[in-house]
Structure 1
Amino acid sequence: MAKFVLAGSANCPYFARAELLADNLETNLPDFKVHKIVKNPDEWENWLSDICKRNAWAHSSSPLIWRELLNRGGKGVLIGGSNEFQEYAAGYYGSSSAMKSSDMTTISSENMETHLSVTEEEEHMKSLSKPLHVCITNAASPVIYHMLNEIVSGDVIGRDTELNIHLLVEAEEIGVAEGVSLEAMDMASPLLREISVTADPNEAMNRASLIIVMDDLGQNENEPWEDWIRRCGTVYSNYGTIIHNWASSDCKVVVAGSGPLNLGAYLIQREAKNILRQNVIVPSRLPENRAKSAIARRINVNSSGIVDIIMWGNCGGSSHLDLSKGRVHGCEGAIWGPPSYSRPIKDMVHDDKWLQNEYLQTVKTHAERLQNALQRPASVSEAHAVVATISDWWSGDNNGQIYSLGVTSDGCYEIPEGLVFSLPVKFHQGSWRVVEDVSITNELKAELAKIVDELQREIEVIFPSPNKAKQSPETVEEVSEDNNNKKVFGVKEGSDSTPGVSDVQGPTNGEENEITRSGPLSRIAEESETDTKEGTTVTETDEV
């Protein structure tokens, strides 16, 4: 597909001639697409200078025409002005414009009148609406490219909420992000009031009611673990300070991407003292969805029918996969029931050996196999996992399902208060609440204690105690009395006490996640062993 951008001053006769030619080509060629940018005469010079400087182009008049190569992973290629576009169209498409000079002048005057009328109407409409400001960091990432469609369609925030989206990128990536913003505008969504690109985080997070942190902060090769934690800590702490100074007081923050995500959420809510602690979360949906899809393929059901799988622990590190409350809907068998009818995962799989071995190996290698097949990191599933979490958080899940979510602990399940930890939650009308009736075996308790120690070691790197001893999150939290006043309340749910099944552990020092055995299935496996050692450990890469 050939996509061209035609930009110019509203009163420019040469813009009128190029516009007519571009419209004819778009009408007659199915793969020819044009995006128009019309500026007021008093805005044109500054806008032209800015975009040429960013793209290292040499052009000084109206119009400015370039071809977008975003789908090929590159920035736009400059064509030039009206004459250059005429030559380009004649050479490639055998088409040209025979518009007379008098017609060019007449049409340019009409264009100016139309532009002023449209601008006045747009300003009036903007004055009547109060759009929700959304900031997305690392906006040049392919994940954000796939995320935008779901956000502006109304499926995430709501179909009656207009959006102002601010894309935050590094200065050298502004060109790519500009292409992403053009794609978003080309969707012609009635809910997208405005989309902007900036390298200034203060500007991007100004008045934001939703901030999606998607930074790629993976550990570099040969980078010491403590240096990596400090580098990430600086980024997240700076975000927290900016959010405190610029974002809306009711702002919701989603910490995703890659890196020590739980630590990131902890530092952001620590620095953003005006934001409620329950408004900073870390999604666990991607590894949770992958665990569901592995079971769905095994028993031949839709993966959406696998519910209530729990991912405990560190969303950017070690975690524990728990199937104790997991159930299956829509399964075929001798017993049928209404859509609400479900059966435990263990009963449907009916293969403890597979659950303890092959299943864990399948979950472990899924991300690697997917990346090898695509020849690039997965982005669609990651984007959907983030927006699905936001959608459930914003509007609530009507089915009452249990999901996993990195949240600030209030002390439930003996997780230290103030520590950000992935826990089982339910969503309801814009909030979440911890499910507190999950049965915790001694084996699971030991695994959770290891993950707590891992998270506390990360915090210790950022806030070392004078005597080098391990410092609990409560001690670090005492730095801010305001934060101590923020509470996260868990709500007891149900009475099911089915024990746990298996563990998944993720990267700690930049390594892969580990999957271990625990719960009744591990005891079944241990009956054939001569000792009572804990299950062996393998690894899995966790991307969210």
Structure 2
Amino acid sequence: MPEPIKVLVTGAAGQIAYSLLYSVAKGDVFGKDQPIILVLLDITPMMEVLKGVVMELQDCALPLVQEMIPTDKIEEAFKDIDAALLVGAMPRRDGMERKDLLAANVKIFQEQGKALDHYAKKTVKVVVVGNPANTNAFICSKFAPSIPKENFSALTRLDQNRAQAQIAGRLNVPNNAVKNCIIWGNHSSTQFPDVSHATVTKNGVVQPVAEAVKDDHWLNNEFIKTVQNRGAAVIKARKLSSAMSAAKAICDHMRDWWFGTHEGEWVSMAVPSDGSYEIEQDLMYSFPVNIKNGKYTIVQGLKIDDNAREKMNVTMKELKEEREMALAACQE
């Protein structure tokens, strides 16, 4: 058996973590033969709830879990970790503006960035889930200067999964028949779900999604709006933000980052921009990426028409505004 890896989940007593921890612990993310030390961080008032979560994980009798470390101490949580799933944050509630959420959460990720810098392995892979995820990931990276920027990411895989499912449902095919949907930009209602490079396999034939759907009006309007506003729709229906689907997307994101993507396929991750597709450098922007040997590269050479460019610029503008607000909040 390989040496155990140390995996941190923040907000470990929360509803996303409740759906996430079992999958991580049983090997769905880091491999079926990879022992794990689970580090579970939450705030002090949640420690009794976290105690119950630990009991349940113990009662699952999972062979890969070598140790669990429930804690409310940030220095203990971040020490020597190999992977960080930063879920914990104030959740967005019905009617809440993103700027209110940003002000509440930016200090959390400023502190966690400093903790990563001081205590984590320099090879740590970080995915930020707490919203506004892209900007929180940018702040986290900024306050962890000793860790390479490319080790930080934010979750837009949930949006990709939503887009893929909408297309699959429209065409009455399995979800895995749809490949290479792209989410450009921010994990927000300005994101651009793009299927102009996506394919679908139907009746044994691979074809572009647009050719299979045969409805450009739906693709350019209802489809985009549905994906952009899916999180708000879930909140309206459940009175709580997405949990099960978010947990699944976190697993997808980190598993692909750990093991790589299939040849000819890409996935969407919010990563620091290197200037590709005329996106301002260092913004935490969602791109299509290929992953090999634990390293992602932004897919190059995709044709961007004027309509796509406009949508990509709208979400870039929002990210620039969020970044300035977040940096100002860090000075307060």
Sort the Cα spacing of 1:385 and 1:222 in 2 relative to 1 into closer, same or farther, 3 A.
closer
CA drift of 1:303 comes to: 1.1
Q: String of CA shifts for 1:465-494, please: whole Å, max 9, x gaps.
A: xxxxxxxxxxxxxxxxxxxxxxxxxxxxxx
CA drift of 1:224 comes to: 7.8
Q: String of CA shifts for 1:116-139, please: whole Å, max 9, x gaps.
A: xxxxxxxxxxxx974211111111
**Given the alignment of the two structures, is residue 135 of structure 1 paired with residue 21 of structure 2, yes or no?**
no
The one-letter code matched in structure 2 to 1:418 is: D
Q: Distance in 1 between matches of 2:314 and 2:71?
A: 41
**Given the alignment of the two structures, is residue 321 of structure 1 paired with residue 201 of structure 2, yes or no?**
no
TM-score by length of 1: 0.57
- Asked if structure 2 preserves the Cα contact closer than 8 Å seen for 1:404 and 1:422, the reply is yes
2:118 is matched with which residue: 235, 239, 245?
A: 245
CA drift of 1:363 comes to: 3.5
Q: Distance in 1 between matches of 2:107 and 2:262?
A: 38
CA drift of 1:443 comes to: 2.9
Sort the Cα spacing of 1:219 and 1:156 in 2 relative to 1 into closer, same or farther, 3 A.
closer
What is aligned with 2:181? 309
**Given the alignment of the two structures, is residue 264 of structure 1 paired with residue 264 of structure 2, yes or no?**
no
Q: Distance in 2 between matches of 1:453 and 1:360?
A: 18
Matches within 5 A, 1:5-84: none
Matches within 5 A, 1:393-408: 393-408=257-272
What is aligned with 1:170? 43
CA drift of 1:277 comes to: 0.9
Q: Distance in 2 between matches of 1:173 and 1:374?
A: 22
Matches within 5 A, 1:455-466: 455-463=319-327
Matches within 5 A, 1:424-463: 424-463=288-327
Identity of aligned residues (%): 29
What is aligned with 1:14? none
What is aligned with 1:145? 18
Q: Distance in 2 between matches of 1:131 and 1:427?
A: 23
Sort the Cα spacing of 1:152 and 1:463 in 2 relative to 1 into closer, same or farther, 3 A.
closer
Sort the Cα spacing of 1:361 and 1:313 in 2 relative to 1 into closer, same or farther, 3 A.
closer
1:216 is matched with which residue: 76, 89, 95?
A: 89
| 1:401 alignment partner, SS class | coil
CA drift of 1:367 comes to: 4.5
- Asked if structure 2 preserves the Cα contact closer than 8 Å seen for 1:262 and 1:316, the reply is no
Higher relative contact order at CA 8 Å, sep ≥6: structure 1 or structure 2?
2
CA drift of 1:221 comes to: 8.1
CA drift of 1:280 comes to: 0.5
| 1:321 alignment partner, SS class | strand
Q: Distance in 1 between matches of 2:223 and 2:311?
A: 19
Q: Give the alignment's Cα RMSD to 1 decimal.
A: 2.4
The one-letter code matched in structure 2 to 1:437 is: G
Sort the Cα spacing of 1:436 and 1:192 in 2 relative to 1 into closer, same or farther, 3 A.
same
| 2:165 alignment partner, SS class | helix
Larger radius of gyration: 1
What is aligned with 1:157? 30
- Asked if structure 1 preserves the Cα contact closer than 8 Å seen for 2:93 and 2:241, the reply is no
**Given the alignment of the two structures, is residue 392 of structure 1 paired with residue 264 of structure 2, yes or no?**
no
Sort the Cα spacing of 1:260 and 1:359 in 2 relative to 1 into closer, same or farther, 3 A.
closer
**Given the alignment of the two structures, is residue 418 of structure 1 paired with residue 276 of structure 2, yes or no?**
no
Contiguous gaps of at least 5 residues in structure 2: none
Matches within 5 A, 1:182-261: 182-218=55-91, 228-257=101-130, 259-261=131-133
**Given the alignment of the two structures, is residue 355 of structure 1 paired with residue 219 of structure 2, yes or no?**
yes
Contiguous gaps of at least 5 residues in structure 1: 1-127, 465-544
What is aligned with 2:171? 299
2:160 is matched with which residue: 288, 302, 307?
A: 288
The one-letter code matched in structure 2 to 1:384 is: K
The one-letter code matched in structure 1 to 2:194 is: D
CA drift of 1:358 comes to: 3.8
Matches within 5 A, 1:69-148: 130-148=3-21
- Asked if structure 2 preserves the Cα contact closer than 8 Å seen for 1:306 and 1:327, the reply is yes
- Asked if structure 1 preserves the Cα contact closer than 8 Å seen for 2:8 and 2:39, the reply is yes
Q: Distance in 2 between matches of 1:317 and 1:443?
A: 17
TM-score by length of 2: 0.90
User: When the two structures are aligned, how many residues end up with a matched partner?
Assistant: 328
Q: String of CA shifts for 1:360-386, please: whole Å, max 9, x gaps.
A: 454456445555665654422111100
Sort the Cα spacing of 1:316 and 1:200 in 2 relative to 1 into closer, same or farther, 3 A.
farther
What is aligned with 2:207? 343
Q: String of CA shifts for 1:199-248, please: whole Å, max 9, x gaps.
A: 11111111111111112334678988666534322111111001111111
What is aligned with 2:244? 380
- Asked if structure 1 preserves the Cα contact closer than 8 Å seen for 2:192 and 2:228, the reply is no
- Asked if structure 2 preserves the Cα contact closer than 8 Å seen for 1:260 and 1:317, the reply is no
Q: Distance in 1 between matches of 2:150 and 2:225?
A: 34
Q: Distance in 1 between matches of 2:283 and 2:227?
A: 27
Q: Which moved more, 1:156-165 or 1:128-137?
A: 128-137
Sort the Cα spacing of 1:414 and 1:366 in 2 relative to 1 into closer, same or farther, 3 A.
closer
Q: Distance in 2 between matches of 1:221 and 1:374?
A: 10
